[in-house]
Structure 1
Amino acid sequence: MRALSLSLRALLLAPIFLTACAAPLAHGPSKGLRLRHVVLYQNGLGYFERTGEMSSDKLALRFREREVDDVLKSVVVVEEGLGPNETPSTVSARLPRSGRGDSPEEPTELELVFSPRPSRPVSIAYAVPTAAWKATYRIILPTKEQKERRALLQAWALIDNIGDEDWNDVRVTLATGAPLSYSSDLRSPTMIERPELKGIYGPQGGAVGPVLAENVAGRDTDADGVPDREDACPNDRGTVHTDPKLAGCPSHVRLVSSELKILPQVLFDKGSDIVKPVSHPLLDEVAKVLLENPWITLVEIEGHTSTDETSPPDLATRRASAVRAALVKRGVPGMRLSIRSYGTDRPLDSNATEQGRAKNRRVAFNVADQVKREATNTTTGTTSPITTEALARMPEGAGRIDASSGSYRYQIANPVTLAKKSSALITLINRPMNGDDVLLYRPDPAAPQSATHPFRAAEIENKSDIGLQPGSVSIFSGGTFVGEGVIMRLLPGERSTIPYAVDNSTRVSQGRMSLDEPLRIVALARGVLRVTDRQRLVTTYEVEPGHNVPNTLVLRHPRTPGYEPLALPEGTEKNPDAYFIRVALTPQKPLKIVIEEARPVERQWFVLTADGERLALYLKGSALPEDTQKRMARIVELRRTLGAANDELNRLREKRQEAVERAVELRENVKAIEKTPQAEKLRKMLLERLESVTKTGDELAVKITQRSDDAAIARAELDDAVRDLVIEEDAKADREKP
């Protein structure tokens, strides 16, 4: 095919108007000039191709005012089947109306004039803005019992025909790339404007689109789905109820995971096996729960008695039989109910009081057998049809997937017929991928509970040769919908963990502390010591798994700028922002994960005032020449001696100060009673104490003088040892420091 020449002179004679490819052609092309191929991009561009034979030398195309400039800069006309020596027709464009004052949706025409009239089919192609196609996904997770951890991934595309003509057997291609495209006005006179300064005086890096509000549910202390403001029992997990007085309060019968819990008991009068009317509502509720949950295949009805009743085993049997009969009357199959007599063997309360004995005259319930709940439809008891095997048989819609320049083009296998102003959902991908159900601990402000409870997440690994585009993900597990997430762009070879629910049964708490460790001596000159410390951050995660958790927990530990990990659990993955730590989970078995990170910190110390013990640790971690090592060891010893002397001096001075203050107090007391004859005995005792305190003070003064001399000698020796010692920085050690 050779492109027809397009007359620029004709384009300049008058403004051109084209209207949407989706508008029905008012006149011009024959019925054979039809829409043949549509390429939709995810940035809102559409590429349209039409092909057919010309019935005259003129062709009128209708577009909308808002599309005119886009068609002008992209339209291509090709005459098909020309031989190497044949010349294509000359094409001129005529614009009979300006349309500049029209509405953006006003239809207008572009007339193409061919000279001579083409004798072969003609193809016309152009690009205009249209609705972007969107991706959405389904992930069917494997069950815990499946040995092969493979998930089924389905990718769907939502396409929109926003135009005014139907698409009849149109070949559709969906492209993930975002070709650069600009809005331009080719028809109006152009005034060249100078660039405008932006982003200097106002906020920089602001939002480029709407920032939506977060809708956060009200506080729900007992996590029963009923907000505290509406919960009549805010501290007890309950259920929704039409009666405000019962909203959020526990019902008589509850299903916790796979366990049936009956809160009250069926109580009987002394010696009686007649079910009292007060227990009828409870039996109604038990029957309703059993009928709605056929996975409970056998319930044991336990009969109990108190010690003051006659024939306890027989009476307990009759009570259990009466309750069984009442449930059968309410529609529960008898084969799902068994009875057992416990007599007085399992008292609920003490038999020493009438109140306790009344509680022991009862019938209780126990789930004796059940099938896997995941495999049963709770309404009919049949196996759910939503299985990985069934869904895997669905055909893929994309006949071919081409990858180039970082983008993908999905060529839909079958032609698409889509009515105007309507949408269609097309299956693009339907294939298994490595995937599993995991717990993901990654606190997110959009989900406040995630600070203490991990997410349930679908983890998939893209080992295919295609990239996945951003979109919503519906997650299925055990034959039912379990949550919804959002997938970001996932390239081949990448793995994504997609949160879809919060697991309230598992709790994670974390704590952090900072520690400093002396490492080594860097340099010493003029009594100033440069050292390197290791600053450690220790983060502890304590995990309390629930009773029905996945096999793996993925813990996202954010990187601390400047710090490097000392050790990470095996299998940890790294990215620039965080470490992803994978640990195996056992239901209801707590575990602790400790992450240690460190960074080197350089500090300066004056040797004369440095702590001797810390100085010894720096020396221990340093590789110094033997002579320097000995001299530094002497300095450490002198610094310890000086430190011990100063410490003792401080203690002695504190004691002497106490003695001086006590002596002053005693003198004041003696002075106060010296003219009181009857206090002579007390005065004598105080004088003796004053003498003893004064003597102690004098002795302490002597010790202070002696220790001051010792400290002065140690300081002089230390000063002399430090004065001429120089340690130069070791460049190699500096490179190897942690």
Structure 2
Amino acid sequence: MRAPSLSLRALLFAPLLLLSACTTPLAHGPSKGLRLRHVVLYQNGLGYFERTGEMSSDKLALRFREREVDDVLKSVVVVEEGLGPNETPSTVSAHLPRSGRGASPEEATELELVFSPRPSRPVSIAYAVPTAAWKATYRIILPTKEQKDRRALLQAWALIDNVGDEDWNDVRVTLATGAPLSYSSDLRSPTMIERPELKGIYGPQSGAVGPVLAENVAARDTDADGVPDGEDVCPNERGTVQTDPAHAGCPSHVRITASEIYILQQLHFDRSSDTLKPTAQPLLDEVAKVLLENPWITLIEIEGHTSTDEPNATDLSTRRASAVRAALVKRGVPSVRLSLRSYAADRPLDANTTEPGRAKNRRVAFNITQHVRREENNAPTRTTSPITTEALARVPEGAGRIDASSGSYRYEIANPVTLAKKSSALITLINRPMNGDDVLLYRPDPAAPQSSTHPFRAAEIENKSDIGLQPGSVSIFSGGTFVGEGVITRLLPGERSTIPYAIDDSTRVSQARISLDEPVRIVALARGVLRVTDRQRLVTTYDVEPGHNVPNTLVLRHPRTFGYEPVVLPEGTEKTPDAYLIRVALTPHKPTKIAIEEARPVERQWLVLTADGERLALYLKGSALPEGTQKRMARIVELRRALGAASDELGRLREKRQEATDRAVELRENVKAIEKTPQADKLRKMLLERLESVTKTGDELAVKITQRSDDAAIARAELDDAVRDLVIEEDAKAAGGNP
């Protein structure tokens, strides 16, 4: 007995499923007129299949693998074409045998569609099932130095697979870059859902130590966080790239550099406690995630810190670091990657003179102490071939139409595709010129150890078209031959990408960095404690020694230093969220130097009585104080200089007096040694004269020391009196600006 079916009006229907054994034999496959017409392949492994044709009977049997049936049941649609407004479509039921327990996922099963009455017009049947994802691969043919048209030729190819049991004969194929959500579900038995499962579109790169990704410059990124506005959930708030699309572009609590992990919301502890606060749990989750997603970091040092008012500081800071390590191990981080170090109160973040400052110092921090070492790929051997831009530009594009919507692209293949079952095909999607050139890229990468001293050869292309390029491998050709392979990340319209493909060992780049502190201004003064602002400068110099036959341009990537802002950058520098890109004109064998200066304000506290007078004068010079306060501070600087001069002179006088005292002791011992030797009278007389002179010098020095001690005491008293009642309050407006 068959259950009643839902009426089909014009388009979409929900089939009524009977989960019982079929009582009549089924045809193996669709009728000859209802054949495969259209296939849409997505890059996340889904395929949409559409069949059209006329029915030769009122029944249609479709054969699928057991693992495909549930996906067909939840997605199948039937369209009876050409119905008029007053015509009633056929009713449709779907019948299938119930799945047997233990059935193989590859076992064949059949779905029977029953039409009542048999349709007299063409019918379209469509469904979505998992299939092999299509992959993108690229070729870039770079222009030669002699070529006036500085444009590269970009070819995009698509590898498609027919993994089914049916040949594709003159099938219309569409390749889509989107990733429609899809979940594994069992509609025929009460089992738990295990989808979604996320897999990359590529397997391991054969023969590669690790992929060296392209350097992209985004065209539209309002908050400069590296996430395009079209994908940024927080477009006006600087954040980070997140694996979860729901948080893409939103701020993260953890940032990672080549040597440190920065926790933007610190792990703090209560006084004398090593217990992690509840607010630390999300931060620890994020730290663990960063470590697990970055296996190139082989050893992390967990630093324990305390404030000066906490007893047993060394033991307490060790226990704090141990608590954090235990929490990370619990989250899956191997303990061998975590070491402990106790700094007690030796490295304060803030002054220990106030409770807010001490609270900041009760913390745990992280340092990267070991990186993974990897082997480097050698640049490929060049061989002569007739590959030129002009020759390859004649290859026709396979994509007859390219549609872009909602951040994804659909490539409609121009000609029907014939592809035997269990086989693959490579189709040309794009073949067009783009702005591009051969450049050097200095960007040290862990996947290529030599890149720390030698720049990459790189293909730089600018996507000024309306076509988005998907991730894939890139084969680079130059001078009529293959010169290397790179990896392109997703490249949207308006973006520029610099794709490394080889190491240029004829060119050497060395860098040096120095740190300088400069006094800026006085922030506040109270009870003799002076708060000042310094400018901490980092000056990085790059020395470039170009080799032979180098490109005309070097793109130098200088990573931003956390907390610092640029002061001196070469003209034309491009800023990205995490680096500065500097373009340097090159001449073979002509060295060049690039200097980059960054700075940040640093606040410090000094006791005026012990501060350096000359440095105090520099702080005063950079401060905008009221006239009366300015004069009083000038007097304090004068007194501090006088006290410093007196203290310095006292030090020199005491040193000389000590020398005189030591010399007198030595002379007395010599005189005593020859006291009973008659023939040494002349020598004894000379030694006694010297002893008298040294003693006299010592007495004179003692008088000077007394006088200078009095001068220093008077200067100290005057300085103490001048400082005691002077208060300088912080100027909120000035404090908010950069020094």
Please identify, of 684-693 and 514-523, the stretch whose mean Cα deviation from structure 2 is larger.
684-693
CA distance in 2, matches of 1:93, 1:192: 24
Contact 1:57 1:114 in 2 (8 A): yes
In the alignment, what sits opposite 2:506? 505
Structure 2 letter corresponding to 1:728: E
Report the TM-score when normalising by structure 2: 0.73
Check conservation: 2:376, 2:447, Cα contact below 8 A. no
- Decide whether the 8 Å contact of 2:386 with 2:481 is kept in 1: no
Question: What corresponds to 2:480 in structure 1?
Answer: 479
For residues 374 and 103 of structure 2, the distance between their equivalents in structure 1, rounded to whole angstroms, comes to: 42
- Specify the code of the residue in structure 1 equivalent to 2:560: R
Q: Are 1:216 and 2:375 matched, yes or no?
A: yes
The code of the aligned residue for 1:492 comes to: P
Residue in 2 that maps onto 1:584? 585
Q: For 1:214 and 1:85, how far apart are their aligned partners in 2?
A: 74
After superposition, the CA RMSD in angstroms is 2.7
CA pair 473-597 structure 1, distance change in 2 beyond 3 A = same
Cα distance change of structure 1 residues 734 and 15 upon mapping to structure 2, 3 Å threshold: farther
- Are the structure 2 counterparts of residues 114 and 183 from structure 1 closer, same or farther at C-alpha, using a change threshold of 3 Å? same
Aligned pairs for 1:298-337 (under 5 A) are: none
Question: Is contact 2:646–2:711 with CA below 8 Å preserved after alignment?
Answer: yes
Match of 2:20 among 14, 34, 49: 14
| Cα offsets for 1:645-694 (capped at 9, x unmatched) | 00000110111111111111211222222122222222222111111111
Aligned residue for 1:662?
A: 663
Task: Confirm or deny: 8 A CA contact 2:380 2:483 kept in the other structure.
Answer: no
CA deviations over 1:612-633 (Å, ceiling 9, x no partner): 1101111111111222212211
Q: Counterpart amino acid of 1:114?
A: F
Cα distance change, pair 403–508 in 1 and its aligned pair in 2 (3 A): same
2:505 is paired with a residue whose SS is coil
Partner of 1:3: 11
TM-score (norm 1): 0.73
1:432 aligns with 2:436: no
Which residue of structure 2 lines up, in the alignment, with residue 121 of structure 1?
A: 122
Contact 1:29–1:55, Cα closer than 8 Å, also in 2: no
CA distance in 2, matches of 1:602, 1:111: 78
Matches within 5 A, 1:199-278: 204=289, 216=375
Matched, 1:30 2:31: yes
For 1:34, give the aligned amino acid: R
Q: Distance in 2 between matches of 1:203 and 1:657?
A: 61
1:6 Cα deviation (Å)? 3.6
Q: Distance in 2 between matches of 1:731 and 1:671?
A: 73
AA in 2 matched with 1:417: T
| Cα deviation code 1:378-433 (max 9, x no counterpart) | 6xxxxx64221221122111111111111000001111111111111111111111
The residue aligned with 2:553 is 552
Contact 1:15 1:98 in 2 (8 A): no
Residue 702 (structure 2) pairs with residue 701 (structure 1): yes
**C-alpha deviation, 1:191, in angstroms:** 6.5
Paired with 1:454 and 1:714, the residues of 2 have a C-alpha distance of: 60
Q: Which runs of structure 2 are paired with 1:622-661 in the superposition (5 Å)? A: 622-661=623-662
- Provide, for residues 76-131 of structure 1, a one-character-per-residue CA deviation record: whole Å limited to 9, x for no partner: 11111111122222211112342332211111101111111111111111111111
Matched, 1:522 2:523: yes
| Aligned mates of 2:285, 2:102 — CA distance in 1 | 37
The answer to whether the 8 Å contact 2:185/2:193 transfers is no
Q: Does structure 2 conserve the Cα–Cα contact (< 8 Å) formed by 1:386 and 1:480?
A: yes
Range with bigger deviation, 683-692 or 635-644: 683-692
From the superposition, tell whether residues 201 and 605 of structure 1 become closer, same or farther in structure 2 (CA, over 3 Å). Answer: closer
Give the letter for the 2:20 counterpart.
A
Point out the structure with max Rg over C-alpha. 1
CA distance in 2 between partners of 1:658 and 1:490 (Å)? 76
Q: Name the residue aligned to 2:574.
A: 573
1:495 Cα offset (Å): 0.6
In the TM superposition, residue 192 of structure 1 has moved relative to its aligned partner by: 9.5
1:157 aligns to what? 158
- Say if 1:3 and 1:88, in contact at 8 Å, map to a contact too: no
CA distance in 1, matches of 2:445, 2:542: 17
Q: Give CA-to-partner distance per residue, 1:674-721, whole Å, 9 cap, x none.
A: 122222222222111111111111000000001011111111111121
Q: Match of 2:11, as an amino acid? A: A
Using the TM superposition, give the Cα deviation of residue 724 of structure 1 relative to its aligned residue in structure 2, in angstroms: 1.9
Cα distance in 2 for partners of 1:206, 1:725 equals 51
Which AA in structure 2 matches 1:589?
Answer: K
Query: 1:712 maps to what in 2?
Result: 713
User: SS of the counterpart of 1:569?
Assistant: coil
Q: Is the 8 A contact 1:453 1:507 kept in 2?
A: yes
Distance 1:208 1:637, change over 3 A: closer
Check conservation: 2:380, 2:502, Cα contact below 8 A: no
Task: Look up the equivalent residue of 1:532 and give its one-letter code.
Answer: T
CA, structure 1 residues 511+400, in 2 after alignment: closer, same or farther (shift >3 Å)?
Answer: same
Alpha-carbon displacement from aligned partner over 1:353-399 (angstroms, at most 9, x marks no partner): xxxxxxxxxxxxxxxxxxxxx9xx96xxxxx6422122112211111
Contact 2:555 2:582 in 1 (8 A): yes
> Over residues 473-504 of structure 1, what are the superposed CA-to-partner deviations in whole Å (9 max), with x where a residue is unaligned?
11111111111111000001111000011001
Q: What is the identity, as a one-letter code, of the residue corresponding to 2:375?
A: V
Deviation at 1:70, TM superposition (A): 1.0
3-state SS of paired residue (1:667): helix
User: Following TM superposition, by how much is the alpha carbon of 1:3 offset from its aligned partner in structure 2, in angstroms?
Assistant: 2.6
**Pair 454,208 (structure 1): closer, same or farther in 2 beyond 3 Å:** closer
Q: Aligned residue for 2:243?
A: none
| Aligned residue pairs, count | 567
1:102 aligns with 2:103: yes
Structure 2's unaligned 5+ residue stretches are: 1-8, 195-280, 297-371
Question: 1:448 aligns to what?
Answer: 449
Residue 618 of structure 1 is matched in structure 2 by 619
1:512 CA drift (Å) = 0.9
Hey, what's the Cα distance between the residues in 2 that align with 1:31 and 1:103? 29
Cα pair 2:374 2:448 within 8 Å, conserved: no
Q: Which residue of structure 2 lines up, in the alignment, with residue 131 of structure 1? A: 132
Shift of 1:187: 1.2
* Cα drift, residue 14 of structure 1: 3.4
Confirm or deny: 8 A CA contact 1:79 1:123 kept in the other structure.
yes
* 1:2 aligned partner, one-letter code: A
Separation of aligned partners in 1, 2:118 and 2:12: 12
Q: What corresponds to 2:264 in structure 1?
A: none
Task: Report the alpha carbon displacement of residue 737 of structure 1 after superposing the two structures with TM.
Answer: 2.1
CA contact (8 A) 1:399 1:410 kept: yes
Question: Equivalent residue for 2:145?
Answer: 144
CA distance in structure 2 between the partners assigned to 1:732 and 1:217 by the alignment: 53
In the alignment, the residues of structure 2 paired with residue 617 and residue 510 of structure 1 have an alpha-carbon distance, to the nearest angstrom, of 31
**Inter-partner Cα distance in structure 2 for 1:590 and 1:201:** 44
Hey, what's the Cα distance between the residues in 1 that align with 2:295 and 2:30?
43
Aligned to 1:173: 174
CA drift of 1:214 comes to 8.4
1-side partners of 2:380 and 2:121: how far apart? 72
Alpha-carbon distance in 2 for matches of 1:626, 1:112:
95
Contact 1:51 1:121 in 2 (8 A): yes
Alpha carbons of 1:215 and 1:638: their partners in 2 closer, same or farther (altered >3 Å)? closer
The one-letter amino acid of 2:450's match is Q
Rate the CA distance shift 1:156–1:6 in 2: closer, same or farther, 3 A.
same
Change (3 A) 1:64 1:584: same
Q: Structure 1: which 5+ runs fail to align?
A: 17-24, 226-373, 379-383
Give the structure 2 partner of residue 414 of structure 1: 415
Instruction: Tell me what 1:187 maps to.
Output: 188
State the partner residue of 1:90.
Answer: 91
SS of aligned partner of 1:3: coil
Map 1:600-615 → 2, pairs under 5 A: 600-615=601-616
2:85 aligned with 1:77, yes or no? no
Contact conserved, 1:65 with 1:99, CA < 8 A, in 2? no
- Structure 1: distance between partners of 2:501 and 2:97: 57
- Matches of 1:14 and 1:518, distance apart in 2: 86
Tell me which amino acid in the other structure corresponds to 1:525. Answer: A
Aligned-partner residue type, residue 418 of structure 1 = L
